Chains A and B, each alone.
Chain A
Amino acid sequence: MNRLARMLGSLLIAVTPPGTAAAQQPATPPGLARGLDLERQGNFAAAAEAYRGVLGARAGDPAALLGLERALVPLNRAGELVPVARAALRAGAPPAVGYGVLVRTWGSAGSADSLRAAVEEWARAAPGDEAPYREWVSSAIGRGDRAGARAAIAVARQRLGRADALAPEAAQTAGGEGSWTVAAAEWLAAIRQMSGFRFAALAMLSPTPERLRPDVLRELERDASGEGRRLAGTLLARWGDPVGGFRLMSASLPGDNLQAVERLNQFIEALQLGAPNTAARQAQGMALEAITARVSGGAAARSRMLAAQAYADAGDRESARRMLDGAVDSRTTGSEASSGTGAAVSVLLSEGKPEAAERRLEGARPSLPADEYASLARRVAWGWARTGQLDRADALLRSDSTVDGLAVTGRIALLRGQIRNAADRLRAAGPYTGSREDAAARASLLALLQRIEADTLPALGRAFLALEQGDSAAATVQFGAVAAGLGAEHGGAELRLWAGRIDLARGRVAEAERWFRAADTEAAPATAPAAELELGRLLISLGRRDEAVATLEHLILTYATSALVPQARRALDEARGAVPRT
């Protein structure tokens, strides 16, 4: 089954109205229960016999008919279903079940004429119902026959007298064919019929090629109901402009607060699916602030704190402060105190105010769970460390003997230039402490420190401190100075590679290139392949493909046993245009 058919299948399952699996189901008859058991065991032949037994007694039993279909299809005996389904219909089986089985059976057999006849018969038995046509379309899509699907949709619309009939199926077919603006219009029609299609629309329109996105946004914004603008806003957020997306969607929020909050929460969920960058956190803060204005009591306090946290993460201190100031009155105890303190500590630390953060933390200590307090204390300690007050930082962590504590004290030791001490602590913290990013950063630091023979290097500590304080330009200069005093094989080359990565992350590509070239020395064979790989990728990104090819070829040929060779070959293929860019 192709991707579109699978998507359609999952979508149809997703939008099946709740309650169809009735809450008050009668006890399963023994024959059916036996069939289900046999199905679970994978004994489809016996299951089919069990279901036939039930149908022998009650020819119209829908559960037994569907069970028989499930059992016969994997046995490649679907053809036996036709007379059984016919008998079931004569005995009063619901048309959706009896004809549904017939349509699927003819579809899988590739018998287009019989399939169509069954659809027509079903449509006569259930006039005005989309189900017969939907099954027809599903069958066509399942065979990868988009033209057939479109033809079936056209017939359905003509027969039902509704231009928006089978809109979700039409939307997916159009999207699959690359007709994205048509797909957008169809999705809007689908959402108007059932709001639950919002998520499907978002998921299916997200892959719109970049050059066609403005057309899709224009199509959606034409919708007068506001639904289109809200969908456009969410899509815009997914496509890299979350703040612009929020502004677009928030301008057309429903007047009803409950509905507006629902849409805002959907927007936040959509943001959480994307990359967790600053713009996304800013947009999240804006959406949470908009929710705060529409709810009251504890809910308002919670969303206010979350908004403050999001703004703080995004570096928007003014907005974070505004949220926290408003929280004074609504702040309560318990979990809200925890999230409130967390947000306040984050904001204060982001403002470079560890003293105020510590005061806030100590003030809230009686209402905080111990592990929450310890976690925040580590953050405050790191806040002290970043200001250079390392003693204050250590003081806060004196009683913290956890692996998380070791990870932080290791980094503080590094800021002091205590190379051995830092390496020991970071190693003891292990590979799983903290977030994945923390763990990766720790492993990277350890790789650097292990190459340095000196026990202490205060200048290196100062370089890392400059880096933590955001002065990456000074940090790279200091890394270079420290590197100059070390042999290439004893950390000098690794420090230059480190400096290059910092410059690259800051967009200083010329400096990054210089560092990578400096780190690429045969005297440091453990570092040189990594430096060449970084350099090769940088050159590809700059469009200097010939140089990239030469660099990557040198890596592969000179360091043939390096673990980086497969990555280098992949980059080499990209540089040569031998594979699509990823």
Chain B
Amino acid sequence: MKRREFLHAAAGAAAVLPVAGLPGLRWRSMAPWILVPMDDAQTDHLKAYGLAYRALERGTRVEWFINYRGGSFLLPAEAATARDAALNGIATEGIDDGRVTRIRGEIQQGNMDAVPLEKAPKVAVYAPPNAAPWDDAVTMALDYAGVKFEKVWDPEAMGGKLPTYDWLHLHHEDFTGQYSKFVLNYAGAPWLSDMIQRNTAVARQLNFPNVPAEKRAVAQRISAFVEQGGFLFAMCTATETLDLALASEGVDIAAAYADGSPMDPDAASRMHWDRALAFQNAQLELSPTTPSYSDIDGHQVNAPDRRQPLGSFTLFGFSAKIDPVATMLVQNHRQVIPDFYGLTTSFTRRTLKPAVTILADEPGAPWAKYIHGEHGQGTWTFFGGHDPEDPQHQIGDAPTDLSLHPHSPGYRLILNNVLFPAAKKKELKT
């Protein structure tokens, strides 16, 4: 099945699930089903997503019980699944048909739903070849959970490889081509010199006059990937700069050190926001030395005069049966989560397009943390901040070891995004 061709739900989730005793179920036990609880009974929430993903890879049908016990999974009790859970220290409960029926009844009556997952999405992470594996929250989450992925960068994006993937994550790239605006403040730092050299070389290789032009072209390829039905997930500065790059066709928004000419002082008024995915009408940061791009980011971590303190954000509760996509994206065992900084930490409400769905925000604050929307046949999800378990992340900090944070609610949000493209879309009731 092609990923865009979502099938309408059949008679009910139970009908598409295998039944204990049928061929393929080799694990003989008293319980024909495995429930993977995702509430506080779970011993490793993050690895539990990997369990579901690998089951899908093996061709096993998985059901995601959204809003039931923190977003639990139901799998047939196959030996491979039991083995996987034991190896990874994932809590599971063996349950019989009667219990499954009772759970389905409970789901039917409450704000819950059973979403069949059909196919393990093919995952790509957009990152430069030299990106440290431990400097990107999504890469860390995928590695820890055991979800396979491939790395792509500008040559692959421009070479037309993106449509071969279902799900694309953007490493904290600066799509405005300004090297996160660190050039003046970190001049001489070896990592920055390497970044500049590498990006300049690839821009030249791909026949672009400068890095900002090349990055804009990559951003357009990414936008096309979504438009044609891809699932995009971005964190940190990739969210804001992707849209800035998309909206700045024909407008110079890059500092002189990036493209040889200073930023157009009227750039903000000349932006084509209709081409952006999530944002509109943002004011651009004109100073080349301030590591901030616009007022899209509410926290402005690197602009001392505007920097906002961290609070906590709250996940929205959606109607599982009416809006299963948004519900899947906010599955968690915690509803209030401590905030964390990134070059782009949050998204100012004023700059959000009207069609954007806010998945999480800080109550009372003028910004959202976690947003979602559609573009063409695909969807995008933006999550502000750099590392949910390293709220003050700084360059050179030690890598986060997720085995110390197996219950991280922030990382769960990332992994919700990995699994949701596997869902079989149900016909909306509204």
Contacts and interface: CB of A to CB of B under 8 A. Distances in A.
Interface of A: 2, 4, 110, 112-113, 140, 143-148, 150, 176-179, 182, 212, 553, 556-557, 560, 565-566, 569-570, 572-573, 576-580, 582
Nearest to B144: A578
Contacts of A150: 185
A182 B88 CA distance: 44
A143 B190 CA distance: 25
A118 to B, nearest CB: 15
Given A112-B305, A147-B291, A178 B191 contact: yes
A182 B189 CA distance: 10
A143 B146 contact: no
A147 B399 contact: no
B189 A144 contact: no
B307 interface: yes
A570 B396 contact: no
B6 interface: no
13 contacts: A143-B307, A177-B189, A179-B186, A212-B190, A553-B87, A556-B86, A557-B86, A560-B86, A566-B89, A577-B143, A578-B146, A579-B144, A579-B402
B403 interface: yes
Interface residues of B, number: 32
Contacts of B185: 146-147, 150
Contacts of B144: 573, 578-579
B81 to A, nearest CB: 13
B208 interface: no
Nearest to A175: B396
A570 B47 CA distance: 13
Nearest to A113: B305
Given A147-B185, A553-B87, A569-B88, A576 B304 contact: no
B305 A557 contact: no
B396 A177 contact: yes
Given A144-B392, A178-B396, A579-B144, A569 B89 contact: yes
A576 B146 CA distance: 9
Nearest to B88: A569
A68 to B, nearest CB: 23
B87 A143 contact: no
B302 interface: yes
- With a 10 A CB-CB cut-off, give which of A2, A113, A553, A579 has the most chain B CB atoms: A579
B89 A2 contact: no
B304 A178 contact: no
B156 to A, nearest CB: 22
B134 interface: yes
B188 interface: yes
B305 A177 contact: no
Contacts of A113: 305
B181 to A, nearest CB: 10
Interface in B375-403: 392, 394-396, 399, 401-403
Interface string B330-367: 00000000000100000000000000000000000000
Nearest to A139: B304
B301 interface: yes
A144 B395 contact: no
Given A112-B304, A579-B144, A2 B87 contact: no
Contact of B399 (A176, A553, A572, A580): A580
Contacts of A560: 86
Contact of A148 (B304, B401, B402): B304
Interface in B127-163: 133-134, 143-144, 146
B83 interface: yes
A560 B402 CA distance: 22
Interface of B: 83, 86-89, 133-134, 143-144, 146, 185-186, 188-191, 289, 291, 301-302, 304-305, 307, 341, 392, 394-396, 399, 401-403
A578 B89 CA distance: 14
A556 B90 CA distance: 12
Contacts of B302: 145, 147
B307 A178 contact: no
B301 A144 contact: yes
Contacts of A580: 134, 399, 401
A100 B361 CA distance: 37
Contacts of A556: 86-87
Contact of B143 (A147, A176, A578): A578
A478 to B, nearest CB: 38
Nearest to B403: A579
A36 to B, nearest CB: 30
Contacts of A553: 87
Given A112-B304, A113-B305, A179-B188, A579 B401 contact: yes
B291 A570 contact: no
A385 to B, nearest CB: 44
A177 B189 CA distance: 8
Contacts of A143: 304, 307
B189 A179 contact: yes
Contacts of B189: 177-179
A148 B143 CA distance: 35
Contacts of A176: 394, 396
Contacts of A572: 87
A578 to B, nearest CB: 5
A110 B305 CA distance: 6
Given A178-B189, A573-B403, 20 more contacts: A2-B394, A113-B305, A140-B304, A143-B307, A145-B304, A146-B185, A147-B291, A148-B304, A176-B396, A177-B189, A178-B190, A178-B395, A178-B396, A179-B189, A569-B87, A569-B89, A572-B87, A577-B133, A579-B144, A579-B401
B292 to A, nearest CB: 11
Contacts of A4: 394
A147 B291 CA distance: 9
A158 B399 CA distance: 37
A514 to B, nearest CB: 26
A110 B394 contact: no
B42 to A, nearest CB: 15
Contacts of A582: 401
Contacts of B87: 553, 556-557, 569, 572
Contacts of A177: 186, 189, 395-396
Contacts of B146: 576, 578
- With a 10 A CB-CB cut-off, give which of A140, A557, A569, A576 has the most chain B CB atoms: A569
Given A110-B304, A582-B401, A2 B392 contact: yes
A212 B307 CA distance: 33
Nearest to B289: A147
Contacts of B289: 147
Contacts of A148: 304
Contacts of B395: 177-178
Nearest to B309: A110
A212 B189 CA distance: 12
Identify the 9 closest CB pairs spanning chains A and B, nearest first. A178-B396, A147-B185, A112-B305, A580-B399, A148-B304, A2-B392, A145-B304, A579-B403, A578-B144
Contacts of B86: 556-557, 560
B392 to A, nearest CB: 5
Nearest to B301: A144
A194 to B, nearest CB: 26
Nearest to A174: B189
Contacts of B143: 576-579
Nearest to B341: A144
Contacts of B392: 2, 144
A576 B87 CA distance: 12
A145 B305 CA distance: 11
A165 B83 CA distance: 62
Nearest to B191: A178
Contact of B307 (A110, A146, A569, A573): A110
A556 B85 CA distance: 11
A176 B185 CA distance: 13
A577 B86 CA distance: 19
- With a 10 A CB-CB cut-off, give which of B304, B394, B399 has the most chain A CB atoms: B304
A427 to B, nearest CB: 34
A385 B255 CA distance: 77
